[in-house]
Amino acid sequence: MVNADVEIGLGPARQRAVFVVLAMRSGQTVSRAELVEAVWGRSAPASADGSVYTYMSGLRRMLGELGRELIVSSGSGYSLRVDSHQVDVTLFDELCEQANVLAARGDHRGVTEKLGAALVLWRGEAFAGVPGPFAEQERTRLEQARLRAVETFARARLELGDHVEVAADLEALVRDHPLRESLRELLMVALARSGRHAEALDVFADARATLLRELGAHPGPALCQVHADVLAGNDMFQAEPDTPRLDVRPCSAARDQDRPFVGRRVELEQIRGRLADVYQGLGGAVWIEGEPGIGKSGLLGAALADVDINAVQIGWAVADELAGRFPLQIMLECLGMGRKLPPGESVGSMIERICAAGPLVLVLDDIQWADEDTVQTWRRLCEATNRLPLLLICAANTGHGRAELTELRRYIESGAERGTAIAMRPLSFVESETLLTELVGARPGRVLRRITSRADGNPLYMREVVGALLLDGAVEKVDGVAYIDESKAEDAPRSLVAAVERSSKSLSDSTKEMLVWVAVLGPEATIGNIAAVSERPVWYLVRAVTDAVNANVLVEEGPKLTFRHQLMRDTVYGGIAGPTRGVLHRQAAKVLAEAGAPPHRVSEQLVAAGGDVEPWVAGWLAEHVAELAGRAPQVAAELLAQVIDTLDIGDPNREVLQAVEVRVLFQLSRDPEAKARHALAICTDPVLAAEIRQLLAAIVYRQGRRVEAVSILTEVPLNPALPEQWQLRHRALLAYLRRDMSNIDTAEIAAKDAYEEAITAGDNFYAAHALQTRWLVDSMRRDHLAALRHVNEAIGLVYDRAEYVGMQYDLLDNKIYTLQNLDRLDEADATLGAAADLCPVNGLPIGLHVTAAVLHYWRGRWDEALQALTTITGEGPTITYAGLIDAGPARLLLHGLFSLIAGRRGDHIAATAHLDVAEHYLVTTKAELENFDFVLAARALVAVQVGDLRRGYEELAPILQPGYAGMMLRHQWLPPLVRVAIKMGDWEKVEQAVEVLELEAAKEPVPARAFCALHRCTALRTRDPEPGLVAAEHYRRVGRPIELASTLGDIAELFAERGLMPDARAAFAEAAAIFAEVGAQWDLDSMSARLAVLGM
């Protein structure tokens, strides 16, 4: 115990032992009986209880000098009130765990930082001089953990080039631990890379002599390999390149390699053939399917055992049932990531970047447990294997019952994108005989053959049966044959499930109890968490874990505990009675919540518990539902439904959670009208009631019932006690709902009348709103000069009024739209800056962030556009102040723009991923339709990129209809539409598009975007570059580089068709420079291919 760098004396040895137990379980109650067993073991004297009381008094007296009570009594136990992070052992374990994650990702510098901080915590032997079985077990565990940390630390430092320093540090450690071969391996590498080869060979010679003398053994294969490398002068363990290579594998992969593996020659050849392809840069996909225990994981381990990690990268993960509800969780694990992607990254962009560093193999075992988003992402990655050095291998159980997996298998086995499907068959008789011989170390006798014939060629069954027989001592080897007594044959398990059950049932009751918690906790199964939920001491659990590991039921993956096989977990979990299962999950959820576990881990337990909901859950959910809804809105909605049903009508949490439930369901684009009406009927909080009423109005409006939506907002007087921001939101929403744009002439007359009334009443807000309606009418007529006058007048009415800041944002957004259409782009940039000055950093509404991104897109600032889009947080539509009823339209524009940039940059995976997200948004309102154009353009681009010209045309064709969406700027998408129609040879479609552009251009009071689009399409239609040159000059003058580059690409093609190669090359060079600057690789490649056909 240290206070202000001064150690506090804690009294005699056993008193210190009591303190150690309390510290290791800080914040938890430790019973007196547990303290007695931890300090004295099973030979505790009768006076032990009294001694514990005496020691507690002594500790309280000594710790009381710190000025606060640290030890409190609780029932028949005691608790130490300190934060777990103040306990150096806990901090050490956490730093080591973080370092292991960084090591898996190849972040060697991060590993050294974490482990440097962890190892500095050591000041000698752990719990030195502290007696008792608990301290002794912890001392042993911690010493092994320290040595593992030292080795990982040394390995990372070697990769960073610190050979000399590492060699000096390891020499002393090897003297202290002469039998630890892994330390000697690292020392030999450090010496060899420091040029001290002779000393490295001396280390091996000393190891060989020491092992023979002390253990009668010889050095292991790893140490021998290092010795051979030193002798051969191989350049070992070279530092990796700056871009870390991916090497993520589950611990089960190493275990599978140690097991006997027989047969599967054809299957191995199929996978190794794909591996050979990916070594050469050719992608592919493999689907493996078979019954549980048939050997899918073993096949993966055998096929990938000899993969050259210097030639190919690996990302390998195993899905589990609990994590299947959380989007992309297992995909992130496959990539060695934590809980979420880095800002601005997508799975597709990450994989593109990883593939740029070298061929990549992604392996996903037990894909039947993967979430839907992961399966969809895997499907998109399959499409990308035709252009990336990417091999995808997934394995699934038969009978999974998931349609999307059936479709995935069908896609892979169809042969598309170099696919291979493997159906795992049972082992043949000869293969089964071979496996049995390896398992028992002798040829199987008649009785053993008869017993294992029940396996029907299932290797897991054979392993479990043989293991059970060997454990019972039922196997006798005579002259190289394994015999079994007939009397014991009937005791052998008769099915795979029975064999797995027998493996766990042979363990002690304490170990079985621990296994139950491992099954319940899933990914959060660590000794610390099990101790918390079971209220068992750590030393007690360490013994149970050791028994389970020795029995080959559990394996340790760092601090986490996992079952050797999913069937083991299924068997243990299935053995828990249904009601008990719910109790255990609820208990686990509470402990994890109190420990500050990530909300998605707590919610996994709560959802699995089902049924009754404990009182604490409502408060926890109210605190964490925002984060949970952002990560997994479906889970949030499910939990909210469960919790709300358990709360009394008068419970204050009920009102809050019902409002949140309506909001979450609205974000999911569901129809929570009935829930919103119910929540509103029982709500007593005026602010919550205002929010629910506005949500209800928005829900009704989205269904096309505008008059009823207005009635909902006006059926009760606005509560004057509401905060001003809620009153303004009410007024803004009401004004929006009352605006009827079905007939723009009528709307203009109504707006003029409303303006006069508002000015007379001195109501600047409604006057500005009426002017905004005039702006809308002008914009739909394409009279952008009049629109600019009206929006400027509206801004003047609300300028510098803090209470109208939301309206100012909305009007500035409108102004940017108009300035873009007038090609006054510098003014548009200045207006965007003015909007940013209204708010703190990142305070812009979602709509303005998207508007900024669109402006950046057309001005050639694509990285800034993506940055603006990634600044937007949250998921799904929400009520906003700006002129849209919700953020759904802006979200459509967001994902459409994301997709379009990704597609033009050649990132097909990210492009399709954003289009998939956009599919979840309903396109029902006029605002949504008017913001749908970027999605349509991206869909068309993706279709063209895969060679489907007809679909590419059909995706954009709706914008040709005059009544499709009044505010949509159709002209900006018609040049690429015309280009596709020409490729199709459909000149009637070309003429139709040009007619639409003539109408659009005629409406412009000043020649601008529609004028230029018409000239571009005229050039394409007539195959004459002159009209295109007019458009190009305009784009160059006003600062529209993206449209300029596309136009120059067309002009270069037209010049080349006429044989004017110098002019074609000049246009190509200017376009290529722009495309290269923004990273539009697909545009550049497409343009180059078109011109290559023409001989340039």
Give the pLDDT band (50/70/90) at residue 842: very low
Of 709, 638, 641, 716, which is closest to residue 679 (Cα–Cα)? 641
Question: Which one has a higher pLDDT value, 1011 or 726?
Answer: 1011
- pTM of whole model > 0.75? no
Q: What is the pLDDT of residue 884?
A: 37
Question: Which pair of tokens denotes residue 41?
Answer: 């073991």
Note the pLDDT tens digit of each residue in 727-765. 777 777 777 777 777 788 888 888 888 888 888 888 888
Mean pLDDT for the stretch of residues 554-576: 74
Of 569, 570, 564, which is closest to residue 551 (Cα–Cα)? 564
Please state, in angstroms and as integers, the Cα–Cα distance from residue 850 to each residue in 5, 120, 410, 889, following that order: 53, 48, 39, 10
669 torsion bin: left (phi>0), alpha (psi -120 to 50), beta (else): left
Residue 682 in this model has a pLDDT that exceeds 70: yes
Which of 375-384, 554-563, 669-678, 1011-1020 is the least confident region?
554-563
Give the pLDDT band (50/70/90) at residue 1074: very high
Return the CATH class of domain 739-874: mainly alpha
Topology, domain 2-82: Arc Repressor Mutant, subunit A (1.10.10)
Q: What is the pLDDT of residue 881?
A: 39
Residue 875 in this model has a pLDDT that exceeds 50: no
Q: What is the pLDDT of residue 443?
A: 80
Q: What is the pLDDT of residue 573?
A: 79
Question: Which one has a higher pLDDT value, 491 or 564?
Answer: 564
Residue 362 in this model has a pLDDT that exceeds 90: yes
Mean pLDDT for the stretch of residues 860-877: 68
Backbone angles phi, psi at 582, to 5 degrees: -60, -40
Question: Which pair of tokens denotes residue 593?
Answer: 């919540």
Query: Cα 120 to the chain's mean position, in Å?
Result: 33
Please state, in angstroms and as integers, the Cα–Cα distance from residue 276 to each residue in 272, 280, 307, 365, 421, following that order: 6, 7, 10, 21, 17
Query: Under CATH, which architecture does the 509-576 domain have?
Result: Orthogonal Bundle (1.10)
Across 747-814, the runs of DSSP E, i.e. the strands, are none
Q: What is the pLDDT of residue 566?
A: 66
Domain regions of the chain by residue span: 2-82, 247-423, 429-505, 509-576, 739-874, 894-1093
Q: What is the pLDDT of residue 982?
A: 92
Residues facing 554 on adjacent strands: 563
Residue 158 in this model has a pLDDT that exceeds 60: yes
Question: Which one has a higher pLDDT value, 637 or 502?
Answer: 637
Of 386, 389, 374, 370, which is closest to residue 913 (Cα–Cα)? 374
CA–CA separation, 551 and 739 (whole Å): 73
Residue 594 in this model has a pLDDT that exceeds 60: yes
Nearest-10 crossing angle of helices 181-193, 221-232? 10
Residues facing 526 on adjacent strands: 560
Q: Report the amino acid identity of residue 830.
A: A
| Residues contacting residue 571 through CB under 8 Å, at least 6 positions apart | 497, 500, 501, 504
Which of 330-339, 945-954, 1033-1042 is the least confident region?
330-339
Topology, domain 894-1093: 1.25.40
Q: What is the pLDDT of residue 946?
A: 83
Note the pLDDT tens digit of each residue in 2-55. 554 555 667 788 888 888 888 887 777 888 888 888 888 877 787 777 777 787
Residues 665 and 675 sit within 8 Å (Cβ to Cβ):
yes
* Dihedral angle, C-alpha 894, 900, 903, 907, nearest 10 °: -20
Is the fold of 247-423 the same as that of 739-874? no
Q: What is the pLDDT of residue 1066?
A: 92
Residues facing 158 on adjacent strands: none
Residues 881 and 843 sit within 8 Å (Cβ to Cβ):
no
Q: What is the pLDDT of residue 503?
A: 57
CA–CA separation, 13 and 131 (whole Å): 7
Mean pLDDT for the stretch of residues 129-151: 83
Question: Which one has a higher pLDDT value, 454 or 615?
Answer: 615
Query: Which helix or strand (DSSP H or E) is residue 755 part of?
Result: helix 744-761
Q: What is the pLDDT of residue 339?
A: 56
Grouping H, G, I as helix, E, B as strand and the rest as coil, residue 11 is coil
Which of 183-197, 199-213, 608-622 is the least confident region?
608-622
Please state, in angstroms and as integers, the Cα–Cα distance from residue 275 to each residue in 256, 366, 379, 552, following that order: 19, 20, 19, 31
Can you say whether the dihedral through the CA atoms of 422, 426, 429, 432 is positive or negative?
A: positive
Residues 649 and 682 sit within 8 Å (Cβ to Cβ):
yes
Q: What is the pLDDT of residue 67?
A: 58
Nearest-10 crossing angle of helices 615-631, 652-667? 20
Mean pLDDT for the stretch of residues 347-360: 80
Residue 1093 in this model has a pLDDT that exceeds 50: yes
Q: Report the amino acid identity of residue 442.
A: A
Which of 109-118, 338-347, 449-458 is the least confident region?
338-347
Q: What is the pLDDT of residue 754?
A: 83
CA–CA separation, 1011 and 1001 (whole Å): 5
Can you say whether the dihedral through the CA atoms of 975, 979, 984, 987 is positive or negative?
A: positive
Most confident of the following: 427-436, 638-647, 1071-1080: 1071-1080
Question: Which one has a higher pLDDT value, 68 or 822?
Answer: 822
Question: Which one has a higher pLDDT value, 290 or 76?
Answer: 290
Mean pLDDT for the stretch of residues 414-434: 79
What CATH number should be reported for the domain whose range is 247-423?
3.40.50.300
Note the pLDDT tens digit of each residue in 1022-1038. 999 999 999 999 999 99
Q: What is the pLDDT of residue 940?
A: 92
Question: Which one has a higher pLDDT value, 77 or 565?
Answer: 77
Q: What is the pLDDT of residue 1018?
A: 93
What does the DSSP 8-state code read for residue 287? E
Which of 573-577, 618-622, 938-942, 1067-1071 is the least confident region?
573-577
Residue 882 in this model has a pLDDT that exceeds 50: no
Mean pLDDT for the stretch of residues 953-978: 83
Residues 1033 and 1012 sit within 8 Å (Cβ to Cβ):
no
Residues 230 and 219 sit within 8 Å (Cβ to Cβ):
no
Residue 975 in this model has a pLDDT that exceeds 90: yes
Q: Looking up tokens 């090897």, which residue turns up?
A: 174
Q: What is the pLDDT of residue 876?
A: 40
Average pLDDT, rounded, for the chain:
80
Q: What is the pLDDT of residue 165?
A: 81
CA–CA separation, 1011 and 499 (whole Å): 78
Q: What is the pLDDT of residue 1042?
A: 93
Mean pLDDT for the stretch of residues 979-986: 91
Mean pLDDT for the stretch of residues 159-167: 82
Question: Which one has a higher pLDDT value, 818 or 925?
Answer: 818
Mean pLDDT for the stretch of residues 780-787: 87
Of 104, 102, 126, which is closest to residue 112 (Cα–Cα)? 102
CA–CA separation, 44 and 173 (whole Å): 37
CA–CA separation, 540 and 808 (whole Å): 65
